[in-house]
Structure 1
Protein backbone atom coordinates (compact mmCIF):
# COMPACT_ATOMS: atom_id res chain seq x y z
CA UNK A 1 0.00 0.00 0.00
CA UNK A 2 1.22 3.51 -0.89
CA UNK A 3 1.96 5.81 2.02
CA UNK A 4 -0.11 8.94 1.39
CA UNK A 5 1.68 12.11 2.46
CA UNK A 6 -0.01 15.35 3.48
CA UNK A 7 2.07 18.28 2.27
CA UNK A 8 1.77 21.92 3.25
CA UNK A 9 2.02 24.65 0.64
CA UNK A 10 5.65 25.13 1.75
CA UNK A 11 6.33 21.57 0.61
CA UNK A 12 5.17 22.26 -2.94
CA UNK A 13 8.35 20.85 -4.50
CA UNK A 14 7.60 17.38 -3.11
CA UNK A 15 4.10 17.45 -4.60
CA UNK A 16 5.42 18.61 -7.98
CA UNK A 17 8.05 15.85 -8.03
CA UNK A 18 5.35 13.27 -7.41
CA UNK A 19 3.34 14.57 -10.37
CA UNK A 20 6.43 14.48 -12.61
CA UNK A 21 7.12 10.85 -11.80
CA UNK A 22 3.55 9.88 -12.74
CA UNK A 23 2.02 9.68 -9.28
CA UNK A 24 -1.32 11.09 -8.09
CA UNK A 25 -1.54 14.21 -5.92
CA UNK A 26 -4.74 15.73 -4.56
CA UNK A 27 -4.83 19.52 -4.78
CA UNK A 28 -7.02 22.30 -3.37
CA UNK A 29 -9.26 24.55 -5.42
CA UNK A 30 -11.87 27.13 -4.51
CA UNK A 31 -14.60 24.55 -5.22
CA UNK A 32 -13.51 21.10 -3.95
CA UNK A 33 -10.23 19.16 -3.73
CA UNK A 34 -9.17 17.61 -7.05
CA UNK A 35 -7.18 14.47 -7.79
CA UNK A 36 -4.25 15.52 -9.93
CA UNK A 37 -2.21 13.70 -12.56
CA UNK A 38 -0.16 14.83 -15.56
CA UNK A 39 -2.79 15.26 -18.29
CA UNK A 40 -0.25 14.19 -20.96
CA UNK A 41 0.72 10.99 -19.14
CA UNK A 42 -1.83 8.35 -20.15
CA UNK A 43 -0.62 5.83 -17.57
CA UNK A 44 -0.89 8.41 -14.76
CA UNK A 45 -4.38 9.41 -15.89
CA UNK A 46 -5.41 5.76 -15.83
CA UNK A 47 -4.39 5.64 -12.17
CA UNK A 48 -6.99 8.35 -11.45
CA UNK A 49 -9.82 6.13 -12.66
CA UNK A 50 -8.45 3.20 -10.65
CA UNK A 51 -7.99 5.18 -7.42
CA UNK A 52 -11.49 6.67 -7.55
CA UNK A 53 -13.28 3.63 -8.94
CA UNK A 54 -14.48 5.96 -11.69
CA UNK A 55 -16.26 4.75 -14.87
CA UNK A 56 -13.91 4.94 -17.85
CA UNK A 57 -16.40 6.86 -20.03
CA UNK A 58 -16.59 9.74 -17.53
CA UNK A 59 -14.32 12.49 -18.96
CA UNK A 60 -11.91 14.47 -16.82
CA UNK A 61 -11.48 18.22 -16.40
CA UNK A 62 -8.03 19.52 -17.30
CA UNK A 63 -6.72 22.25 -14.97
CA UNK A 64 -4.31 24.90 -16.22
CA UNK A 65 -2.24 27.59 -14.53
CA UNK A 66 -2.64 30.20 -17.27
CA UNK A 67 -5.17 30.76 -20.08
CA UNK A 68 -2.38 30.43 -22.64
CA UNK A 69 -1.93 26.74 -21.76
CA UNK A 70 -5.35 25.88 -23.14
CA UNK A 71 -4.30 26.48 -26.75
CA UNK A 72 -1.78 23.64 -26.44
CA UNK A 73 -4.55 21.04 -26.49
CA UNK A 74 -7.87 22.74 -27.29
CA UNK A 75 -9.37 25.11 -29.85
CA UNK A 76 -10.24 28.38 -28.11
CA UNK A 77 -13.09 30.34 -29.70
CA UNK A 78 -14.14 33.96 -29.14
CA UNK A 79 -16.77 33.09 -26.56
CA UNK A 80 -14.23 31.15 -24.54
CA UNK A 81 -11.79 34.06 -24.66
CA UNK A 82 -14.44 36.45 -23.31
CA UNK A 83 -15.37 34.10 -20.47
CA UNK A 84 -11.73 33.48 -19.57
CA UNK A 85 -11.25 37.24 -19.25
CA UNK A 86 -14.38 37.59 -17.11
CA UNK A 87 -14.32 34.54 -14.84
CA UNK A 88 -10.85 32.99 -14.80
CA UNK A 89 -9.36 32.12 -12.45
CA UNK A 90 -12.64 30.88 -11.06
CA UNK A 91 -15.32 28.19 -10.88
CA UNK A 92 -16.12 27.95 -14.60
CA UNK A 93 -15.24 24.90 -16.68
CA UNK A 94 -15.53 25.20 -20.46
CA UNK A 95 -15.91 22.34 -22.91
CA UNK A 96 -14.00 23.06 -26.11
CA UNK A 97 -13.06 21.12 -29.25
CA UNK A 98 -9.90 19.14 -28.53
CA UNK A 99 -6.87 19.28 -30.82
CA UNK A 100 -6.08 15.92 -32.42
CA UNK A 101 -3.36 13.62 -31.06
CA UNK A 102 -2.56 15.69 -27.97
CA UNK A 103 -4.64 14.21 -25.16
CA UNK A 104 -5.45 10.54 -24.74
CA UNK A 105 -8.97 9.12 -24.77
CA UNK A 106 -8.56 8.45 -21.05
CA UNK A 107 -8.80 12.22 -20.55
CA UNK A 108 -11.59 12.98 -23.03
CA UNK A 109 -13.67 9.84 -22.58
CA UNK A 110 -13.17 9.23 -26.31
CA UNK A 111 -14.98 12.45 -27.26
CA UNK A 112 -13.74 15.18 -29.62
CA UNK A 113 -14.03 17.73 -26.81
CA UNK A 114 -12.17 18.47 -23.60
CA UNK A 115 -13.25 20.20 -20.37
CA UNK A 116 -10.84 22.81 -19.02
CA UNK A 117 -10.64 25.34 -16.20
CA UNK A 118 -8.25 27.63 -14.35
CA UNK A 119 -8.81 27.26 -10.58
CA UNK A 120 -8.84 30.24 -8.23
CA UNK A 121 -6.25 28.77 -5.86
CA UNK A 122 -2.71 30.11 -5.94
CA UNK A 123 -1.18 26.92 -4.50
CA UNK A 124 -2.67 24.73 -7.21
CA UNK A 125 -1.67 27.12 -9.99
CA UNK A 126 1.87 27.00 -8.59
CA UNK A 127 1.71 23.19 -8.51
CA UNK A 128 0.72 23.12 -12.19
CA UNK A 129 3.55 25.48 -13.10
CA UNK A 130 6.16 23.54 -11.12
CA UNK A 131 4.92 20.25 -12.57
CA UNK A 132 5.29 21.68 -16.05
CA UNK A 133 2.05 20.14 -17.32
CA UNK A 134 -1.68 20.73 -17.04
CA UNK A 135 -3.35 18.42 -14.54
CA UNK A 136 -6.49 16.35 -14.81
CA UNK A 137 -8.46 16.93 -11.64
CA UNK A 138 -11.72 15.14 -10.86
CA UNK A 139 -12.91 15.45 -7.28
CA UNK A 140 -10.49 13.65 -4.94
CA UNK A 141 -12.97 11.18 -3.47
CA UNK A 142 -14.30 7.71 -4.05
CA UNK A 143 -16.43 7.96 -7.18
CA UNK A 144 -20.05 8.84 -6.41
CA UNK A 145 -19.47 9.93 -2.82
CA UNK A 146 -19.68 13.52 -1.48
CA UNK A 147 -16.85 15.61 -2.82
CA UNK A 148 -14.01 16.58 -0.45
CA UNK A 149 -13.79 20.10 0.90
CA UNK A 150 -10.95 19.35 3.36
CA UNK A 151 -7.68 17.46 3.03
CA UNK A 152 -8.88 15.02 5.69
CA UNK A 153 -11.85 14.11 3.47
CA UNK A 154 -9.41 13.15 0.73
CA UNK A 155 -7.32 11.12 3.16
CA UNK A 156 -10.43 9.31 4.40
CA UNK A 157 -11.31 8.13 0.88
CA UNK A 158 -7.96 7.72 -0.86
CA UNK A 159 -5.20 7.08 1.70
CA UNK A 160 -3.00 4.28 0.47
CA UNK A 161 -4.11 4.89 -3.14
CA UNK A 162 -2.37 8.19 -3.94
CA UNK A 163 1.06 9.70 -3.32
CA UNK A 164 -0.09 12.73 -1.38
CA UNK A 165 -2.39 15.64 -0.66
CA UNK A 166 -1.46 19.31 -0.96
CA UNK A 167 -3.29 20.82 2.02
CA UNK A 168 -4.38 24.44 1.72
CA UNK A 169 -7.23 24.35 4.22
CA UNK A 170 -10.98 24.27 3.54
CA UNK A 171 -12.34 25.12 0.12
CA UNK A 172 -14.37 28.34 -0.16
CA UNK A 173 -17.24 27.49 -2.50
CA UNK A 174 -17.77 23.84 -1.61
CA UNK A 175 -19.52 22.63 -4.78
CA UNK A 176 -17.96 21.90 -8.15
CA UNK A 177 -17.57 24.41 -10.95
CA UNK A 178 -20.17 25.36 -13.52
CA UNK A 179 -19.61 23.29 -16.68
CA UNK A 180 -20.43 25.14 -19.91
CA UNK A 181 -20.40 23.44 -23.32
CA UNK A 182 -18.95 25.83 -25.90
CA UNK A 183 -18.46 23.18 -28.58
CA UNK A 184 -22.01 23.59 -29.93
CA UNK A 185 -23.80 26.48 -31.64
CA UNK A 186 -25.87 27.22 -28.55
CA UNK A 187 -23.83 27.23 -25.34
CA UNK A 188 -25.26 24.88 -22.72
CA UNK A 189 -24.77 24.51 -18.98
CA UNK A 190 -24.14 20.79 -18.35
CA UNK A 191 -23.55 21.16 -14.61
CA UNK A 192 -24.69 24.14 -12.53
CA UNK A 193 -22.19 25.89 -10.31
CA UNK A 194 -21.36 29.25 -8.77
CA UNK A 195 -21.32 31.00 -12.16
CA UNK A 196 -24.96 31.23 -13.29
CA UNK A 197 -26.40 31.10 -16.83
CA UNK A 198 -27.36 34.77 -16.53
CA UNK A 199 -23.78 35.73 -15.71
CA UNK A 200 -22.53 33.79 -18.72
CA UNK A 201 -25.10 35.38 -21.04
CA UNK A 202 -24.07 38.84 -19.85
CA UNK A 203 -20.53 38.20 -21.10
CA UNK A 204 -21.06 36.37 -24.40
CA UNK A 205 -24.29 38.14 -25.42
CA UNK A 206 -26.19 35.04 -26.56
CA UNK A 207 -28.75 32.80 -24.83
CA UNK A 208 -27.48 29.84 -22.83
CA UNK A 209 -29.35 26.55 -22.61
CA UNK A 210 -29.70 25.81 -18.89
CA UNK A 211 -31.90 22.69 -19.19
CA UNK A 212 -29.68 19.93 -17.78
CA UNK A 213 -29.35 17.15 -20.38
CA UNK A 214 -30.15 13.61 -19.26
CA UNK A 215 -27.52 11.15 -20.45
CA UNK A 216 -28.66 7.79 -21.80
CA UNK A 217 -27.07 4.55 -20.61
CA UNK A 218 -25.27 4.07 -23.93
CA UNK A 219 -24.13 7.71 -24.18
CA UNK A 220 -20.77 9.12 -23.11
CA UNK A 221 -21.27 12.22 -20.90
CA UNK A 222 -19.47 15.39 -21.91
CA UNK A 223 -18.93 16.44 -18.31
CA UNK A 224 -18.59 14.88 -14.86
CA UNK A 225 -21.72 14.41 -12.77
CA UNK A 226 -24.11 13.99 -15.71
CA UNK A 227 -24.58 10.23 -15.91
CA UNK A 228 -23.63 8.37 -12.78
CA UNK A 229 -24.78 8.55 -9.17
CA UNK A 230 -22.85 11.35 -7.49
CA UNK A 231 -22.34 13.18 -4.22
CA UNK A 232 -24.19 10.54 -2.19
CA UNK A 233 -23.30 9.17 1.26
CA UNK A 234 -24.17 5.60 2.21
CA UNK A 235 -27.01 6.85 4.43
CA UNK A 236 -30.47 7.68 3.07
CA UNK A 237 -30.83 11.40 2.27
CA UNK A 238 -34.14 13.27 1.99
CA UNK A 239 -34.72 16.86 0.94
CA UNK A 240 -36.94 19.06 3.10
CA UNK A 241 -38.78 22.11 1.78
CA UNK A 242 -39.06 25.07 4.21
CA UNK A 243 -42.77 24.47 4.84
CA UNK A 244 -42.18 20.79 5.73
CA UNK A 245 -39.71 21.19 8.61
CA UNK A 246 -42.32 21.06 11.37
CA UNK A 247 -43.60 17.70 10.18
CA UNK A 248 -40.05 16.53 9.46
CA UNK A 249 -39.02 17.22 13.06
CA UNK A 250 -42.09 15.41 14.41
CA UNK A 251 -41.18 12.42 12.21
CA UNK A 252 -37.54 12.61 13.37
CA UNK A 253 -38.60 12.56 17.03
CA UNK A 254 -40.66 9.41 16.45
CA UNK A 255 -37.68 7.40 15.21
CA UNK A 256 -35.76 4.92 17.33
CA UNK A 257 -32.43 5.64 15.60
CA UNK A 258 -31.09 9.22 15.59
CA UNK A 259 -31.67 11.25 12.43
CA UNK A 260 -29.18 13.80 11.11
CA UNK A 261 -30.59 17.25 10.37
CA UNK A 262 -28.82 19.71 8.04
CA UNK A 263 -30.44 23.12 7.94
CA UNK A 264 -29.72 26.84 7.90
CA UNK A 265 -29.37 28.92 11.06
CA UNK A 266 -32.73 30.62 10.62
CA UNK A 267 -34.45 27.23 10.59
CA UNK A 268 -32.41 26.06 13.59
CA UNK A 269 -33.58 29.12 15.49
CA UNK A 270 -37.19 28.91 14.30
CA UNK A 271 -37.55 25.29 15.39
CA UNK A 272 -35.50 25.69 18.59
CA UNK A 273 -32.88 23.11 17.59
CA UNK A 274 -29.77 24.97 18.78
CA UNK A 275 -27.56 22.83 20.99
CA UNK A 276 -29.31 19.59 20.12
CA UNK A 277 -27.42 16.50 19.00
CA UNK A 278 -27.26 15.50 15.33
CA UNK A 279 -27.63 19.04 13.98
CA UNK A 280 -25.40 20.33 11.19
CA UNK A 281 -25.59 24.06 10.51
CA UNK A 282 -25.58 25.10 6.86
CA UNK A 283 -24.85 28.67 7.92
CA UNK A 284 -26.79 31.81 7.15
CA UNK A 285 -27.25 31.87 3.38
CA UNK A 286 -26.94 30.01 0.07
CA UNK A 287 -23.16 30.54 -0.11
CA UNK A 288 -22.50 29.03 3.31
CA UNK A 289 -24.97 26.22 2.62
CA UNK A 290 -23.09 25.23 -0.54
CA UNK A 291 -19.75 25.41 1.27
CA UNK A 292 -20.99 23.19 4.12
CA UNK A 293 -23.15 20.69 2.23
CA UNK A 294 -20.63 17.97 1.41
CA UNK A 295 -18.88 18.23 4.77
CA UNK A 296 -22.22 17.73 6.53
CA UNK A 297 -23.10 14.69 4.44
CA UNK A 298 -19.70 13.21 5.25
CA UNK A 299 -20.11 14.02 8.95
CA UNK A 300 -23.34 12.08 9.26
CA UNK A 301 -22.12 9.30 6.98
CA UNK A 302 -19.45 8.59 9.60
CA UNK A 303 -22.03 8.42 12.41
CA UNK A 304 -22.78 4.69 12.66
CA UNK A 305 -26.06 5.17 14.51
CA UNK A 306 -27.45 7.67 11.99
CA UNK A 307 -29.26 5.96 9.11
CA UNK A 308 -31.21 8.91 7.68
CA UNK A 309 -30.19 12.49 6.87
CA UNK A 310 -32.71 15.29 6.33
CA UNK A 311 -31.34 18.29 4.43
CA UNK A 312 -32.83 21.71 3.76
CA UNK A 313 -33.62 22.42 0.12
CA UNK A 314 -33.22 25.99 -1.12
CA UNK A 315 -35.67 28.07 -3.21
CA UNK A 316 -35.40 27.23 -6.91
CA UNK A 317 -33.59 30.33 -8.15
CA UNK A 318 -30.38 30.60 -10.17
CA UNK A 319 -28.07 31.33 -7.24
CA UNK A 320 -29.19 28.11 -5.55
CA UNK A 321 -28.87 25.99 -8.69
CA UNK A 322 -25.59 24.28 -7.77
CA UNK A 323 -26.65 23.55 -4.19
CA UNK A 324 -30.01 22.09 -5.17
CA UNK A 325 -28.44 20.09 -8.00
CA UNK A 326 -25.92 18.41 -5.70
CA UNK A 327 -28.52 17.84 -2.98
CA UNK A 328 -30.91 16.38 -5.54
CA UNK A 329 -28.26 13.90 -6.68
CA UNK A 330 -27.21 13.06 -3.12
CA UNK A 331 -30.82 12.29 -2.21
CA UNK A 332 -31.68 10.52 -5.45
CA UNK A 333 -34.52 13.02 -5.78
CA UNK A 334 -36.26 11.87 -2.57
CA UNK A 335 -38.23 14.29 -0.37
CA UNK A 336 -39.30 14.02 3.27
CA UNK A 337 -42.92 13.91 2.09
CA UNK A 338 -42.29 10.32 0.98
CA UNK A 339 -41.62 9.36 4.60
CA UNK A 340 -44.47 11.39 5.98
CA UNK A 341 -46.94 9.49 3.81
CA UNK A 342 -45.79 6.03 4.98
Structure 2
Protein backbone atom coordinates (compact mmCIF):
# COMPACT_ATOMS: atom_id res chain seq x y z
CA UNK A 1 0.00 0.00 0.00
CA UNK A 2 1.02 3.59 -0.61
CA UNK A 3 2.51 5.72 2.13
CA UNK A 4 -0.01 8.47 2.95
CA UNK A 5 1.67 11.83 3.61
CA UNK A 6 0.04 15.07 4.77
CA UNK A 7 1.96 18.14 3.60
CA UNK A 8 1.15 21.69 4.68
CA UNK A 9 -0.51 23.56 1.78
CA UNK A 10 1.22 26.92 2.36
CA UNK A 11 4.48 25.96 4.09
CA UNK A 12 5.40 22.48 2.84
CA UNK A 13 7.59 20.70 5.40
CA UNK A 14 11.13 20.43 3.99
CA UNK A 15 11.77 16.98 5.48
CA UNK A 16 8.61 15.55 3.90
CA UNK A 17 9.32 17.15 0.51
CA UNK A 18 12.87 15.77 0.59
CA UNK A 19 11.59 12.32 1.55
CA UNK A 20 9.17 12.28 -1.40
CA UNK A 21 11.84 13.54 -3.80
CA UNK A 22 14.27 10.85 -2.66
CA UNK A 23 11.60 8.21 -3.27
CA UNK A 24 10.99 9.68 -6.76
CA UNK A 25 14.72 9.39 -7.48
CA UNK A 26 14.52 5.74 -6.43
CA UNK A 27 11.90 5.11 -9.12
CA UNK A 28 8.66 5.39 -7.16
CA UNK A 29 5.31 6.71 -8.43
CA UNK A 30 3.34 9.30 -6.46
CA UNK A 31 -0.08 10.94 -6.45
CA UNK A 32 -0.07 14.61 -5.49
CA UNK A 33 -2.34 17.66 -5.44
CA UNK A 34 -1.99 20.45 -8.02
CA UNK A 35 -3.85 23.62 -8.94
CA UNK A 36 -6.06 21.52 -11.25
CA UNK A 37 -6.86 18.36 -9.32
CA UNK A 38 -4.70 15.37 -8.44
CA UNK A 39 -1.92 14.10 -10.70
CA UNK A 40 0.30 11.04 -10.73
CA UNK A 41 3.98 11.44 -11.40
CA UNK A 42 7.45 9.95 -11.57
CA UNK A 43 10.98 11.02 -12.38
CA UNK A 44 11.99 11.76 -15.98
CA UNK A 45 13.43 8.67 -17.63
CA UNK A 46 11.62 6.25 -15.31
CA UNK A 47 10.28 3.74 -17.86
CA UNK A 48 8.68 1.48 -15.27
CA UNK A 49 7.02 4.52 -13.70
CA UNK A 50 5.66 5.59 -17.11
CA UNK A 51 4.26 2.13 -17.71
CA UNK A 52 2.62 2.11 -14.26
CA UNK A 53 1.00 5.51 -14.89
CA UNK A 54 -0.28 4.35 -18.29
CA UNK A 55 -1.76 1.25 -16.67
CA UNK A 56 -3.52 3.29 -13.96
CA UNK A 57 -4.89 5.77 -16.50
CA UNK A 58 -5.47 3.07 -19.16
CA UNK A 59 -3.91 5.22 -21.88
CA UNK A 60 -1.74 4.27 -24.86
CA UNK A 61 1.85 5.21 -25.69
CA UNK A 62 0.42 8.16 -27.63
CA UNK A 63 -0.79 9.79 -24.40
CA UNK A 64 0.83 13.17 -23.83
CA UNK A 65 2.61 13.26 -20.49
CA UNK A 66 3.21 16.65 -18.90
CA UNK A 67 6.43 17.95 -17.44
CA UNK A 68 5.72 20.15 -14.44
CA UNK A 69 8.38 22.86 -14.42
CA UNK A 70 9.59 25.12 -11.63
CA UNK A 71 10.25 28.19 -13.80
CA UNK A 72 10.77 29.45 -17.36
CA UNK A 73 14.48 28.62 -17.37
CA UNK A 74 13.65 24.97 -16.76
CA UNK A 75 10.81 24.96 -19.30
CA UNK A 76 13.08 26.44 -21.99
CA UNK A 77 15.61 23.66 -21.51
CA UNK A 78 13.13 20.92 -22.37
CA UNK A 79 10.84 22.33 -25.10
CA UNK A 80 11.32 24.44 -28.22
CA UNK A 81 9.54 27.80 -27.97
CA UNK A 82 9.70 30.80 -30.30
CA UNK A 83 9.37 34.38 -29.07
CA UNK A 84 5.61 34.65 -29.67
CA UNK A 85 4.95 31.37 -27.85
CA UNK A 86 7.22 32.44 -24.99
CA UNK A 87 5.28 35.69 -24.54
CA UNK A 88 1.93 33.88 -24.56
CA UNK A 89 3.04 31.21 -22.08
CA UNK A 90 4.55 33.87 -19.82
CA UNK A 91 1.25 35.79 -19.90
CA UNK A 92 -0.80 32.73 -18.89
CA UNK A 93 1.42 31.12 -16.27
CA UNK A 94 1.79 30.02 -13.58
CA UNK A 95 -1.74 28.71 -13.87
CA UNK A 96 -4.08 25.98 -15.18
CA UNK A 97 -2.68 25.55 -18.70
CA UNK A 98 -0.79 22.70 -20.34
CA UNK A 99 1.15 23.51 -23.52
CA UNK A 100 2.11 20.84 -26.04
CA UNK A 101 5.42 21.63 -27.72
CA UNK A 102 8.30 19.90 -29.50
CA UNK A 103 10.75 18.42 -27.01
CA UNK A 104 14.48 19.11 -27.01
CA UNK A 105 17.20 16.45 -26.90
CA UNK A 106 17.10 16.69 -23.08
CA UNK A 107 13.70 14.97 -22.99
CA UNK A 108 13.96 11.15 -22.80
CA UNK A 109 12.53 9.68 -26.02
CA UNK A 110 10.20 7.39 -24.06
CA UNK A 111 8.50 10.55 -22.74
CA UNK A 112 7.78 12.06 -26.16
CA UNK A 113 4.78 11.35 -28.39
CA UNK A 114 6.15 8.54 -30.61
CA UNK A 115 5.32 10.24 -33.93
CA UNK A 116 5.19 13.97 -33.15
CA UNK A 117 8.16 14.19 -30.72
CA UNK A 118 6.01 16.42 -28.52
CA UNK A 119 5.41 16.64 -24.79
CA UNK A 120 3.19 18.70 -22.49
CA UNK A 121 4.68 21.34 -20.18
CA UNK A 122 3.23 23.54 -17.51
CA UNK A 123 4.06 25.86 -14.65
CA UNK A 124 1.65 25.07 -11.80
CA UNK A 125 0.43 27.63 -9.30
CA UNK A 126 0.53 25.35 -6.25
CA UNK A 127 2.86 25.46 -3.25
CA UNK A 128 3.24 21.70 -2.75
CA UNK A 129 3.82 20.99 -6.44
CA UNK A 130 6.32 23.82 -6.75
CA UNK A 131 8.18 22.63 -3.64
CA UNK A 132 8.49 19.13 -5.11
CA UNK A 133 9.76 20.34 -8.48
CA UNK A 134 12.21 22.79 -6.89
CA UNK A 135 13.66 20.09 -4.65
CA UNK A 136 13.84 17.56 -7.49
CA UNK A 137 15.90 19.98 -9.60
CA UNK A 138 14.24 18.91 -12.84
CA UNK A 139 10.69 18.68 -14.23
CA UNK A 140 8.36 16.15 -12.63
CA UNK A 141 6.76 13.91 -15.23
CA UNK A 142 3.03 13.73 -14.63
CA UNK A 143 -0.43 12.88 -15.87
CA UNK A 144 -3.71 14.28 -14.58
CA UNK A 145 -5.32 11.68 -12.31
CA UNK A 146 -8.53 11.07 -14.23
CA UNK A 147 -9.77 7.53 -13.68
CA UNK A 148 -10.93 5.45 -16.67
CA UNK A 149 -14.53 6.32 -17.66
CA UNK A 150 -14.35 9.60 -15.70
CA UNK A 151 -14.00 13.12 -17.14
CA UNK A 152 -12.75 15.14 -14.16
CA UNK A 153 -9.60 14.66 -12.09
CA UNK A 154 -9.73 13.27 -8.57
CA UNK A 155 -9.68 15.95 -5.87
CA UNK A 156 -9.30 14.26 -2.47
CA UNK A 157 -6.18 12.51 -1.22
CA UNK A 158 -8.06 10.01 0.91
CA UNK A 159 -10.16 8.96 -2.09
CA UNK A 160 -7.03 8.57 -4.20
CA UNK A 161 -5.48 6.43 -1.45
CA UNK A 162 -8.62 4.32 -1.14
CA UNK A 163 -8.96 3.76 -4.89
CA UNK A 164 -5.31 3.50 -5.93
CA UNK A 165 -3.21 2.98 -2.80
CA UNK A 166 -2.42 -0.54 -3.98
CA UNK A 167 -0.96 0.78 -7.26
CA UNK A 168 1.02 3.77 -5.93
CA UNK A 169 4.02 4.26 -3.65
CA UNK A 170 3.07 7.61 -2.06
CA UNK A 171 -0.15 9.62 -1.86
CA UNK A 172 0.24 13.24 -0.75
CA UNK A 173 -2.74 14.81 1.00
CA UNK A 174 -3.32 18.47 0.21
CA UNK A 175 -5.81 20.93 -1.31
CA UNK A 176 -6.32 21.20 -5.05
CA UNK A 177 -7.58 23.94 -7.35
CA UNK A 178 -11.36 23.86 -7.64
CA UNK A 179 -11.83 24.57 -11.34
CA UNK A 180 -11.02 21.16 -12.81
CA UNK A 181 -8.39 19.97 -15.28
CA UNK A 182 -6.04 22.26 -17.17
CA UNK A 183 -6.81 23.81 -20.52
CA UNK A 184 -4.55 22.06 -23.05
CA UNK A 185 -3.12 24.12 -25.90
CA UNK A 186 -1.18 22.46 -28.73
CA UNK A 187 1.50 24.86 -30.01
CA UNK A 188 3.68 22.28 -31.71
CA UNK A 189 2.62 23.27 -35.26
CA UNK A 190 3.49 26.94 -34.87
CA UNK A 191 -0.03 28.09 -33.98
CA UNK A 192 -2.14 27.66 -30.86
CA UNK A 193 -4.94 25.08 -30.97
CA UNK A 194 -7.09 24.37 -27.90
CA UNK A 195 -7.41 20.59 -27.65
CA UNK A 196 -9.09 20.49 -24.24
CA UNK A 197 -11.06 23.25 -22.56
CA UNK A 198 -10.51 23.33 -18.83
CA UNK A 199 -9.86 25.69 -15.97
CA UNK A 200 -7.88 28.22 -18.03
CA UNK A 201 -9.76 30.76 -20.14
CA UNK A 202 -9.64 30.15 -23.91
CA UNK A 203 -10.69 33.68 -24.84
CA UNK A 204 -7.28 34.70 -26.23
CA UNK A 205 -7.29 31.71 -28.62
CA UNK A 206 -10.65 32.45 -30.25
TM-score, normalized by the shorter chain, greater than 0.5? yes
- Determine the structure 2 residue equivalent to 1:181: 186
* 1:109-124 → structure 2 map (5 Å cutoff): 109-110=113-114, 111-124=116-129
Kindly report structure 1 stretches of 4+ aligned residues shifted beyond 4 Å: none
SS at structure 2 position matched to 1:136: strand
Q: CA RMSD in A?
A: 1.9
- Per-residue CA deviations over 1:84-132 (Å, capped at 9, x if unaligned) read 3222110011111111363223x22312211100111011111112122
Match of 1:108 in 2: 112
Q: Deviations over 1:260-306 (max 9, x none)?
A: xxxxxxxxxxxxxxxxxxxxxxxxxxxxxxxxxxxxxxxxxxxxxxx
CA distance 1:77–1:144, shift in 2 (3 Å): farther
What does the per-residue CA deviation read over 1:2-51, in whole Å, with 9 as the maximum and x for residues that have no partner? x2111122322221111111100111111111101112323322221133
Q: What whole-Å deviation, never above 9, does each CA across 1:175-207 have from its counterpart, x for those lacking one?
A: 111111112233110101222222xx3xxxxxx
**Is 1:127 paired with 2:132?**
yes
Gaps of 5+ in 2: 8-12
2:61 aligned with 1:56: yes
In 1, Cα distance between the equivalents of 2:33 and 2:118? 25
Matching residue of 1:261: none
Instruction: Return the index of the structure with the highest Cα Rg.
Output: 1
Among 142, 147, 168, the alignment partner of 2:147 is 142
Q: TM-score, normalised by structure 1?
A: 0.54
Is contact 1:142–1:158 with CA below 8 Å preserved after alignment? Answer: no
Kindly report which structure 2 residues correspond to 1:54-93, keeping only aligned pairs within 5 A, or say none: 54-93=59-98
Q: Secondary structure at the match of 1:166?
A: strand
Aligned residues: 197
Question: Could you tell me which residue of structure 2 aligns to residue 13 of structure 1?
Answer: 18
CA separation in 2, counterparts of 1:118 and 1:40? 20
SS of equivalent to 1:114:
strand
Cα distance 1:15–1:144, how it changes in 2: closer, same or farther (>3 A)? farther
Structure 2 contact 57–146 (Cα < 8 Å) conserved? yes
Name the SS of the counterpart of 1:22 in structure 2: coil
Q: Which residue does the alignment assign to 1:331? A: none
**Partners in 1 of 2:100 and 2:146 — Cα distance?**
23
| Bigger relative contact order (CA 8 A; separation at least 6) | 2
CA distance in 1, matches of 2:121, 2:130: 14
TM (norm. structure 2) is 0.86
What is the match of residue 157 of structure 1? Answer: 163
Unmatched 5+ stretches in structure 1: 202-207, 211-342
8 Å contact from structure 1 (residues 7, 15) kept in 2:
no
Task: Give the structure with the larger strand fraction.
Answer: 2
- Structure having the larger proportion of residues in helix: 1
| C-alpha contact (below 8 Å) 1:42/1:104 kept by paired residues | no
**Distance of 1:55 and 1:157 partners within structure 2:** 21
SS in 1 for 2:34: coil
What SS does structure 2 have at the residue aligned with 1:75?
Answer: coil
Instruction: Indicate the SS of the match to 2:42.
Output: strand
